[in-house]
Amino acid sequence: MLVKEKALYTKLEICDILTTGNELTIKRMIPYVGTIRGNQHRTIPEKVSKKKSYPLPRDIIARTMAKMNPDYFSTILEIINYPEDKVVAEAINAIGWMVFYHQKLATAKNYQTVIQSFERYHDNELMKWKLIICLSAFNQSEAFLKQLDFQNPVVQAEIERSLSLINKRKSKVVY
pLDDT in tens, 90-147: 999 999 999 999 999 999 999 999 999 988 998 999 999 999 999 999 999 999 999 9
> Residue 47: pLDDT above 90?
no
Q: What percent of the chain has pLDDT over 70?
A: 98
Q: Global pTM?
A: 0.92
pLDDT of residue 14: 94
Helix segments in the chain, DSSP class H: 8-18, 23-29, 60-66, 73-78, 85-101, 108-120, 125-135, 142-146, 153-172
| Residue 170 CA, distance from chain mean position | 20
Rounded to an integer, the average pLDDT of 151-159 is: 94
For residue range 8-37, what is the model confidence (pLDDT) as tens digits? Answer: 899 999 999 999 999 999 999 999 998 887
| Residue 148 CA, distance from chain mean position | 19
- Counting Cα atoms < 13 Å in the Cβ hemisphere of 74 gives 3
Q: Are 114 and 135 spatial neighbours (Cβ–Cβ below 8 Å)?
A: yes
| Residue at 111: amino acid letter | Y
